[in-house]
Structure formats: C-alpha cells, structure tokens
C-alpha cells in the first residue's frame, strides 16, 4: 500500500509500519493520523499479516505534533487538517482516533522505538502490546509544557501500564527521560543496542507469527485489553468459558493437539477474516458524543 507519511511492508507474516517523515523526526500530522487508521484497517483485513511492528524512519520515532503552524497547532477550529466541533459534538482528538483504532486491532502490535518519542510519539505507543526501545530512544509526555493536556486516550492507558504514581510524575513534570528510565518505569519491555532493535522486534514477531494460531492470538489480545476494566473475575470466566468452548471445537484446536503429539510444527487453518467466534465482539462499542 502507498501512503504519504507511512511505509507499509508485509514480509513473512509481519507488517512493518514505519512513520516516514524523517526530515521532521516523523512529526505527527492529520494526514498521518488518517493513514495510520487506514493501515490498521488494512492489516486487520489481510490474513497474511500476523503481527505489526511499528517504528520510525531516520533517527527518531516521532517528535510529537508537527508545530509548523505555530500558535494554531492545537486550535482544532483553525486547522485545515483537523475536524472542529459541529452539531453540538466536541472536536475529536486525532491522536485518540489512532490509539482507539490500535486498541481494536486484531493483530498484535510490537513497538520498535528507535529514537525520540515525545507527545503523541509517546502516547501513540500506549495500545501497543509490547514496546522495545533502542538505547538511543528518549520519551516525554510534554503536554503540560505546551499548555495542553494529554491526548490519545493516554490518561486511560498510561496509569494501567505503569501505575498511577509513575504516570503522574511523567505527565505532571512533562520532562524528557531516557530509555533506561522507561524500562525501570515499565513503559518498555526491553532496551537493546540501537542496531539490534529491529532484529529483536522481528525475532519476537516471528515467535508469534510462525508458531501460534491467528484466531487465538486475536482473541487473547482483546481478552486481556477488554478485561482491564472488568469489575470482577467472573467477567473473565464468562469469556474464557465461551472462548474455550468455541475454539475447542475448531480445526485449530485439533491441529494444535495433533501437531504436539506428532512432534511437528502446526499449520493452523482458521483465519481471522472468516473464523472469529460468533460471539466476538462480546462488548458494546462506545460512541463518541
């Protein structure tokens, strides 16, 4: 697929999605937001895509919002690339459109954070399932220093990922911090030498793409995200029970057992595009109002 602000490449079951404005440190624009949503739509509909690896072109991941419009950068009513309020419905944050689409993804998302990642460059990472960082990466939730507030639904994501105290300290100070602190605070899973970042991301991606059942992975991803706000483990038990019942009768389950007994690699026949359980999704989609 061809995009203005992204590179989209599928190889051996892995989609590499690269933010591609290297001359601007991949600064985020309304066009990039639109294209990211389209890219995840395409990935979900393509059974050849098993895992998504996200990274940035050049020396940065994403330097935050493109500030080239100056004082109007965050004024939605005066930006040509952002939709203002209409018909009594508040203007929507474009970063939130992206992270909500990533949250709904049926394919696991691995972040390969290769350099500076501030503002939306940091909050865009929140719905990724696993984040790996180069030792050259830097992070910053700089909103208070720009006179705005966090976006991209990060006030929901960040405390769940790193705990309230750490989330508050990073958000309230707005300071930029290094990859070692991101690791210590639970924002990333691993920090690796810069040249090893993409090889490590692909190694992890292929552990999923080459050895697991696509429908099971799609279900597991959503089961864990959706259960973050369940009020009792009974809610998980309900979905576990329905999922095990449905998947237990599938050709994938038969193949999983027989390949284990026969000591061979499994070839799972079920597809995300056609074989998700009939009860999926089990939650009510939220409307913006």
Rg for the chain (alpha carbons), in Å? 20
Cα–Cα distance for residue pair 142/215, rounded to 1 Å: 38
Asked whether residue 142 is domain-assigned, the answer is yes
Residue tagged 């624009």 (tokens): 29
Domain match, 201 and 240 both: no
Q: How confident is the model at residue 71 (pLDDT cuts 50, 70, 90)?
A: very low
Domain co-membership, 157 together with 236: no
Q: What pLDDT sits at residue 75?
A: 56
199 and 269 share a domain? no
Mean pLDDT across 49-70: 89
Helix axes 30-45, 94-103, angle to 10 degrees: 10
Task: Write out pLDDT tens, residues 174-231.
Answer: 999 999 999 999 999 999 999 999 999 999 999 999 999 999 999 999 999 999 999 9
Check whether residue 129 and residue 95 sit in a common domain: yes
Residues 57, 22 contacting (CB under 8 angstroms): yes
In the chain, the number of structural domains is: 2
Shared domain check, 119 and 47: yes
Q: What is the CATH number of the domain that holds 126?
A: 3.90.226.10
Cis geometry, peptide bond prior to residue 281 (ω within 30 degrees of 0): yes
User: Does the pLDDT value for residue 76 go beyond 80?
Assistant: no
Residue 1 lies in a domain: no
- Alpha carbons within 13 A on the beta-carbon side of 91: 15
Are 194 and 260 members of one domain? no
Report percent pLDDT > 70 for the chain.
92
Tokens of 98: 């992206």
Domain containing 92 equals 6-209
Within a 10 A sphere around the Cβ of 206, how many other Cβ atoms? 15
Averaged pLDDT for residues 237-254: 97
């Amino acid at each position: 697929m061809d995009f203005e602000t992204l590179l989209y490449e599928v190889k051996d079951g892995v989609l590499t999605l690269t933010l591609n404005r290297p001359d601007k440190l991949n600064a985020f624009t309304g066009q990039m937001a639109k294209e990211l949503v389209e890219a995840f739509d395409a990935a979900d509909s393509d059974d050849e895509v098993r895992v998504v690896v996200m990274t940035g072109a050049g020396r940065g991941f994403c330097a935050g919002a493109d500030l080239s419009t100056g004082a109007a950068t965050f004024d939605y009513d005066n930006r040509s690339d952002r939709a203002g309020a209409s018909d009594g419905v508040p203007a929507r944050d474009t970063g939130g459109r992206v992270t909500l689409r990533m949250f709904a993804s049926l394919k696991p998302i691995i972040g390969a954070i290769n350099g500076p990642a501030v503002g939306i460059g940091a909050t865009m990472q929140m719905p990724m399932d696993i984040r790996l960082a180069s030792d050259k990466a830097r992070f910053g939730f700089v909103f208070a220093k720009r006179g705005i507030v966090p976006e991209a639904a990060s006030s929901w994501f960040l405390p769940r990922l790193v705990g309230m105290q750490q989330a508050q300290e990073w958000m309230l100070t707005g300071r930029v911090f290094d990859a070692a602190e991101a690791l210590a605070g639970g924002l990333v899973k691993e920090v690796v030498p810069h040249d090893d970042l993409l090889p490590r991301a692909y190694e992890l991606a292929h552990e999923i793409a080459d050895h697991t059942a696509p429908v099971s992975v799609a279900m597991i991803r959503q089961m864990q995200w959706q259960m973050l706000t369940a009020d009792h483990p009974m809610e998980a038990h309900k979905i576990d029970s329905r999922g095990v019942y449905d998947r237990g009768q599938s050709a994938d389950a038969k193949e999983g057992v027989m390949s284990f007994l026969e000591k061979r690699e499994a070839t799972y026949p079920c597809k995300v595009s056609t074989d998700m359980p009939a009860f999926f999704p089990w939650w009510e989609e939220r409307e913006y109002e």
